[in-house]
Amino acid sequence: MESGFFQQVYEIVQKIPVGCVATYGQIARLCGNPRASRAVGYALHVNPLPGKIPCHRVVNRFGGLAPAFAFGGADVQRNLLTAEGVSFSDEYTVALDKHLWDPFG
């Protein structure tokens, strides 16, 4: 994927509100490429502005945290989300029924 795709990913991720999460697949669909969830993950892994682009708000389709979260691991991602009021159904799985972002609602 080219940098234009990455920029699109970053712009969408910046819109995820505090207290919400989105999935890699959801971001890929919003970018117009529903099969690009892995590319979304890579774009977030190489995020050039970690303080500005809230990569920690992106989880897998089951609500699972990234085991190798680029900026410190799943524990750091969990702590960041917990600080934003996100709840979990188990130690490393976000309660998607409560926190999944609806970009159209």
Strand partners, 83: none
Name the pairing type of β-strands 58-59 and 22-23. Answer: parallel
Q: What is the pLDDT of residue 1?
A: 45
**What's the rounded Cα separation, in Å, for the pair 83 and 66?**
17
- Residue 72, Cα to own-chain centre: how many angstroms? 15
Whether domain 3-99 has CATH 1.10.10.10? yes
Amino acid residing at 84: E
Write down the pTM of the prediction: 0.93
**31 counts as catalytic:** no
Q: What is the pLDDT of residue 69?
A: 62
- Residue 67, Cα to own-chain centre: how many angstroms? 13
Q: What is the pLDDT of residue 70?
A: 64
Q: What is the pLDDT of residue 44?
A: 93
Are 89 and 76 in contact, with CB atoms under 8 Å apart?
Answer: no
**Active site residue: 53, 55, 80, 94, which one?**
55
Are 88 and 95 in contact, with CB atoms under 8 Å apart?
Answer: yes
State the 10-residue block means of pLDDT for the chain, 105 residues long. 85 98 98 97 90 94 85 88 97 97 94
* Domain locations along the chain: 3-99
